[in-house]
């Protein structure tokens, strides 16, 4: 049985999607066709959304689930006339919040991701460019500016994690790849030695690493299970020898790795 989930928003839809994914992941067995309807900002657009929801209801034979972050009262009223099951975020929480805070909210649409100040935009752009310029050990001379330096073997998730830390938290995250050459005597590469307090290690399950590397270079020594296993054993020995905090990223998403790194290193985010 097919069931449709709608994410409805006057803005990007990201809040509605995030909430929806979170709720629906609690019902692992049901498969949802997911539809995001962003930038719904007028009566007319809301009525069109209602029509799409009603069409899905007719086609599926069951009620669509609708996660909505619409703020405008008239639009919310129109939405509630649909044949889906509406989970209305602002409907549920905004009134109680207004009462507690003792003020009326502005009920302005599309507030949530608007840039509140040019500062935070710049922090973010600068963080992203820092991550790029200091990706994969390309440069090491700016490590004094880094908030964190991720280390690990090739394709263990360093780059996406650095970028996520930059985009989400505005952190200056460098990353440095450890290779076979570094494992000979388990000494830290020179570029890392003087920044030891900033280091954070990633590791990963050997089978998983081998599968990821195979996508890039199949049937190579680089991707072989034997090579991956060898590198990872040496890597973890290195982390342990130098007391470098580290994390097994195998079962984790980029979001989870990033937030755990943040917590384990006690880093203060530069963006809220």
Annotated binding site for ADP: 152-159
The runs of H, that is alpha helices, within the chain are 14-24, 43-60, 73-79, 89-101, 118-133, 158-169, 180-183, 190-193, 206-216, 225-241, 254-265
Question: Which positions from 172 to 211 touch its own copies by CB under 8 A, shown as an x/- string?
Answer: ------------------------------------x--x
Q: Is 73 in the site for its own copies (CB under 8 A)?
A: no
- Select the residue interacting with its own copies from 23, 81, 187, 193 (CB under 8 A): 23
Select from 100-108, 177-185, 218-226, 232-240 the region that touches its own copies (CB under 8 A).
100-108
Torsion sign over Cα 217, 220, 221, 225:
positive
- Give the span between the Cα atoms of 247 and 94, in whole angstroms: 39
The residue among 144 and 215 lying less far from its own copies, judged by its C-beta, is 215
- Select the residue interacting with its own copies from 80, 248, 259, 265 (CB under 8 A): 259
- Give the span between the Cα atoms of 91 and 73, in whole angstroms: 9
| Tokens 């649409």 -> residue | 109
Instruction: State residue 150 phi and psi, 5-degree precision.
Output: -85, 135
Q: Is 263 in the site for its own copies (CB under 8 A)?
A: yes
Angle (nearest 5°) at CA 253 between 250 and 255: 140
3-state secondary structure of 85: strand
The residue among 145 and 240 lying less far from its own copies, judged by its C-beta, is 145
Residues 37-66 that bind its own copies (CB under 8 A): 38-39, 63, 65
The residue among 31 and 51 lying less far from its own copies, judged by its C-beta, is 31
The residue among 121 and 180 lying less far from its own copies, judged by its C-beta, is 121
Q: Is 25 in the site for its own copies (CB under 8 A)?
A: yes
- Select the residue interacting with its own copies from 45, 52, 85, 270 (CB under 8 A): 85
Select from 50-58, 163-171, 220-228, 240-248 the region that touches its own copies (CB under 8 A).
163-171
Q: Which residues contact 207 (CB under 8 A, 6 or more apart)?
A: 225, 228
- Select the residue interacting with its own copies from 129, 139, 217, 233 (CB under 8 A): 129
**Alpha carbon of 241 to those of 25, 233, 235: distances in Å?**
39, 12, 10
């Amino acid at each position: 049985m097919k069931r449709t989930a709608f994410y409805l928003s006057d803005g990007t839809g990201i809040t509605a999607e995030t909430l929806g994914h979170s709720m629906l992941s609690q019902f692992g067995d049901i498969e949802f066709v997911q539809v995001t309807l962003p930038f719904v900002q007028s009566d007319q657009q809301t009525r069109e959304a209602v029509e799409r929801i009603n069409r899905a209801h007719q086609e599926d034979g069951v009620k669509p689930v609708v996660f909505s972050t619409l703020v405008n009262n008239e639009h919310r009223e129109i939405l509630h006339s649909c044949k889906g099951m509406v989970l209305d975020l602002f409907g549920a929480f905004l009134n109680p919040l207004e009462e507690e805070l003792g003020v009326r909210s502005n009920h302005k649409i599309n507030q949530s991701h608007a840039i509140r100040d040019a500062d935070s935009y710049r922090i973010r752009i600068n963080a992203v460019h820092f991550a790029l310029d200091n990706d994969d050990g390309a440069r090491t001379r700016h490590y004094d500016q880094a908030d964190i330096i991720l280390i690990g073997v090739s394709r263990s998730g360093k780059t996406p994690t650095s970028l996520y830390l930059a985009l989400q938290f505005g952190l200056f995250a460098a990353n440095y790849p450890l290779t076979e050459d570094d494992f000979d005597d388990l000494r830290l590469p020179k570029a890392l030695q003087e920044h030891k307090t900033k280091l954070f290690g990633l590791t990963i399950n050997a089978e998983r690493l081998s599968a990821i590397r195979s996508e890039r270079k199949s049937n190579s020594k680089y991707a072989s299970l034997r090579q991956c296993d060898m590198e990872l054993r040496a890597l973890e020995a290195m982390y342990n020898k130098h007391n470098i905090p580290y994390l097994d990223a195998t079962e984790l998403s980029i979001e989870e790795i990033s937030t755990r790194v943040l917590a384990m290193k006690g880093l203060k985010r530069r963006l809220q």
